[in-house]
Chains A and B, each alone.
Chain A
Amino acid sequence: MGKSALITGITGQDGSYLAELLLEKGYRVHGLVRRSSSFSTGRIDHLYKDIHDNPGLLLHYGDLTDGQALTNLVMSLEPDEIYNLGAQSHVRVSFDQPVYTLMTDGVGALNVLEAARILNQKKKVRVYQASSSEMYGAVLETPQTESTPFNPQSPYACAKVYAFFQTINYRRSYGLFGCNGILFNHESPRRGETFVTRKITRAATRIKLGLQKKLFLGNLDAKRDWGYAKDYVEAMWLMLQHNEPDDFVIATGKTYSIRDFLDLVFSKLELDWQKYVEIDPRYLRPAEVDLLLGDPSKANRVLGWSSKTSVEQLASIMVDHDLELAKREEHNQSFQS
């Protein structure tokens, strides 16, 4: 195909699935990685080849808050597509780090748009902005569609709303091909372990093997529309192949509570979650989003995309993976004693 793409947030869940997808399609993939003296590339290590072996994947050090370095990188790589997935992505944490979250998720997105705008004057580039269902917050209508007004309830959501409107602004003012993917919650075996679904599957499988005794959670009644991250990154790519830039809700169209997810996961392991789960107020949000339910009919109709994985299948995939992980941990423990 001969196309190239730059992915910010390539070390994250979505970034790793997207990198795989684009490499399969023959893209040259560039990733932006923050420098740290600990390795952070666990999710993409299997894709990484030594630079002397002519790899399709290249990583570059940078930070969304370092606009100059980002622009320099974009101008030297001249990618055909940019996927801005990088962010401080944890809603609960954003209450403790509101300024940092805005600088990375809000101004960081602006830095990406600015870099793209400058490149666009020389060579056409398409930009995907990772928007979020959290922007709907205390939802003003159900289900949520592309025209539902936003009502953000966290510093994370406010930053994402800013980035959403800037993307549209750059589309209208500068003719930049920029798209917002309004993705509802999307999970996988690669989900970060402090996100509730993965926290649950990790805990349940460790409890099953006697490696953990309890699972502490926050609000069990919150309801979310959960999809499979691997299906969702396909939608991101489709948006940038479309003949015109637009914004799309990506969701399953169904909603479940945390309790429902606990039922699915623990029953698969033949355990009763009520025996192991305790509430810890530390995990409650200062302002909660009680329900999210997306309407993906525009994406179905215009992009031909639809979610392929039910929440039952999703829970199964994650439990199977984490059971393997727990077995390995159990083996390592016995090896050390």
Chain B
Amino acid sequence: MRAVITGITGQDGSYLTDLLLAKGYEVHGIVRRSSTLQRPRLDQQFHDESIYGKRLFLHYSDLTDTTSLRRILHRIHPDEFYHLAGQSHVGLSFEIPESTCELTAMGTLRILEILRDLSPSPRFLHASSREIFGTPTCSPQNEETPVNPNSPYGAAKAFANQLVKIYRDSMGLFGCNAICYNHESPRRAENFVTRKITIAAARIKLGLQKELVLGNIDSARDWGSAPEFVEAMWRMLQQPAPKDYILATGTTHTVSEFMEYAFQHVGLDWKSYYRHDPRFQRPIEPQNLCGNAAKALEDLGWKHKTSLRELAAMMVDHDLERLKHHS
């Protein structure tokens, strides 16, 4: 089996690569060209001669670059296409709304257009997001909840989400939206709040940092584990028919609760180190974000397994190891 992954250098992309390689797939990743060759999440596979160049291949392209995307896809003819790439930081989308739209919304349209002309078309997985619901009136949300985004990121994802449906219904593409709630891991980028917290806890424990500065700590989220979500994405493409699925844990926790789990794990009291900075506050804060993943359980046999406390502990342990190893 052959798969293409956009966003392969990101958190989810790297876990999906691990999963597909373990299942014996040939994996092709799309990467942006940069003069810094930093792809830390893929380092191991990239430098493994038995994998890179034999079962894992990387190709230069960009979500805005239709001609090279088309050429790559016509050359590879994948069975499955996992579209995980985009400008993935919600807070930042308020500062760079145009690029966010160009990459996340238009980028998805470009890919759908190319896939439409491939014969046969690969099965297509789109990494959608609960941000498309904005501030929903009912909680928890399911696949029928109305789309009502309140961030430029959410608006771009909503556009992409709706297009996938249109290509599925009117053009017969096997396309699925994985409507993901927050999902974290030790590979999460450092400017997402959970990782920012676990790194701070580890650094404060080792005396390398004095305080942790955050925005709104009463903000609540439904936080799951990235490797588990990626397993669900794969299962979605193995179904007999394409559908959209909510991927979530069904419980919410506040940022302050996460801080408590993380700091407690290293025997510290977060209140002694936390400081508030309005700079990190969002212009609009979404409320009531809690996902109902009953359909995923019924159709895919998928349910989340890792509690938030366990996730926090895993991430803190990883960051402590990394910091100790480097010093």
Contact surface of A with B, Cβ cutoff 8 Å = 11-13, 34-40, 42-43, 52, 61-63, 65-66, 68-69, 88-90, 93, 96-100, 103, 192-195
Contacts and interface: CB of A to CB of B under 8 A. Distances in A.
A103 B39 contact: no
Contacts of B40: 38-39
Given A61-B92, A61-B96, A52 B213 contact: yes
B218 interface: no
Interface of B: 9-11, 32-41, 60-62, 64-68, 71, 87-89, 92, 95-96, 98-99, 102, 189-190, 213
Given A38-B9, A40-B36, A52-B213, A96 B64 contact: no
5 contacts: A12-B36, A38-B38, A43-B36, A97-B65, A98-B67
Given A38-B9, A61-B96, A69-B98, A192 B35 contact: yes
Nearest to A195: B35
Given A38-B10, A52-B213, A90-B33, A100 B65 contact: yes
A237 to B, nearest CB: 21
A151 to B, nearest CB: 25
Contacts of A13: 35
Interface of A is mostly: loop
Given A90-B33, A194-B37, 7 more contacts: A34-B32, A37-B89, A38-B40, A39-B40, A65-B102, A66-B98, A97-B33
Contacts of A99: 65-68
Given A38-B189, A89-B35, A97 B96 contact: no
A34 B33 CA distance: 12
A148 B114 CA distance: 43
Q: Which of B39, B61, B62 has the most CB of A within 10 A?
A: B62
Q: Which of B11, B32, B65 has the most CB of A within 10 A?
A: B65
Given A38-B189, A66-B98, A97-B68, A88 B38 contact: no
A61 B62 contact: no
B11 A37 contact: yes
B95 A61 contact: yes
Contacts of B60: 93, 96-97
Contacts of A43: 36
A69 B36 contact: no
Contacts of B37: 192-194
Contacts of B189: 37-39
Contacts of B11: 37
A43 to B, nearest CB: 7
Contacts of B64: 65, 100, 103
Nearest to B9: A38
Contacts of A35: 87, 89, 92, 96, 99
Name the 3 nearest CB pairs between A and B, nearest first: A192-B35, A100-B65, A37-B189
A194 B96 CA distance: 30
Contact of B68 (A62, A89, A100, A195): A100
Given A37-B88, A97-B60, A69 B38 contact: no
A98 B60 CA distance: 11
Contact of B38 (A40, A52, A90, A103): A40
A39 B35 contact: no
A38 B13 CA distance: 12
A262 to B, nearest CB: 21
A319 B92 CA distance: 40
A69 B99 contact: yes
Contacts of B88: 37
A96 B213 contact: no
